[in-house]
């Protein structure tokens, strides 16, 4: 079978160039520690062809598309509470247990369950 096109030079090299751009995105996604290394990534090259009415000229378009792995899921806990007006509110739970104080390892400060510094803490 005769070779119809050379994928390296097709569309003035745009097919190969776009494939390389998407491949670079995939490699960067694999290197990102915030993604799951074992998830599959995908590179799709689509060449769409359509003829004119005389069927002697064919117009082609090239699309390169990558499917990347999403960032890993991150979990956080919230404390559900009510403000002074009775409206439901919330804050991120920093201590691990509602109502528990803890010592911030970076600053050495004693903080409440929401991560706010406790002023005038007494042993």
**What is the number of domains present in the chain?**
2
Q: Based on the fold, state whether residues 37 and 58 are members of the same structural domain.
A: yes
Q: Based on the fold, state whether residues 79 and 96 are members of the same structural domain.
A: yes
User: How confident is the model over 34-65, as pLDDT tens digits?
Assistant: 999 999 999 999 999 999 999 999 999 999 99
Q: Based on the fold, state whether residues 61 and 87 are members of the same structural domain.
A: no
Task: Say if 112 falls within a structural domain.
Answer: yes
Task: Say if 2 falls within a structural domain.
Answer: no
Full domain range(s) for residue 20? 10-67
Residue 76 has a pLDDT of: 87
Task: Say if 3 falls within a structural domain.
Answer: no
Q: Based on the fold, state whether residues 16 and 58 are members of the same structural domain.
A: yes
Residue 122 has a pLDDT of: 62
CA distance 94 to 106: 14
Residue 52 has a pLDDT of: 93
Q: Based on the fold, state whether residues 50 and 85 are members of the same structural domain.
A: no
Q: Based on the fold, state whether residues 81 and 119 are members of the same structural domain.
A: yes
Task: Say if 5 falls within a structural domain.
Answer: no
Residue 123 has a pLDDT of: 57
Instruction: Report residues of the chain scoring pLDDT below 70.
Output: 121-123
Task: Say if 63 falls within a structural domain.
Answer: yes
End-to-end CA distance of the chain: 86
Task: Say if 26 falls within a structural domain.
Answer: yes
Task: Say if 122 falls within a structural domain.
Answer: yes
Q: Based on the fold, state whether residues 79 and 63 are members of the same structural domain.
A: no
Three-state DSSP at 21 gives helix
Task: Say if 113 falls within a structural domain.
Answer: yes
Per DSSP, the residues of 26-62 read HHHHHH-TTB-TTS--EEEEEEEEEE-TTSS-EEEEE
């Amino acid at each position: 079978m005769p070779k119809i096109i050379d994928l390296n030079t097709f569309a003035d090299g745009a097919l190969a160039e776009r494939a390389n751009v998407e491949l670079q995105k995939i490699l960067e996604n694999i290197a990102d520690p915030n993604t799951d290394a074992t998830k599959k990534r995908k590179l799709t090259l689509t060449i769409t062809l359509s003829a004119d009415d005389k069927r002697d000229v064919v117009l082609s378009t090239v699309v390169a598309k990558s499917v990347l792995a999403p960032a890993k899921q991150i979990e956080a806990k919230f404390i559900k509470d009510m403000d002074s007006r009775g409206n439901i509110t919330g804050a991120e739970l920093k201590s691990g247990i509602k109502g528990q104080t803890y010592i911030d390892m970076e600053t050495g400060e004693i903080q409440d369950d929401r991560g706010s510094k406790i002023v005038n803490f007494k042993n």
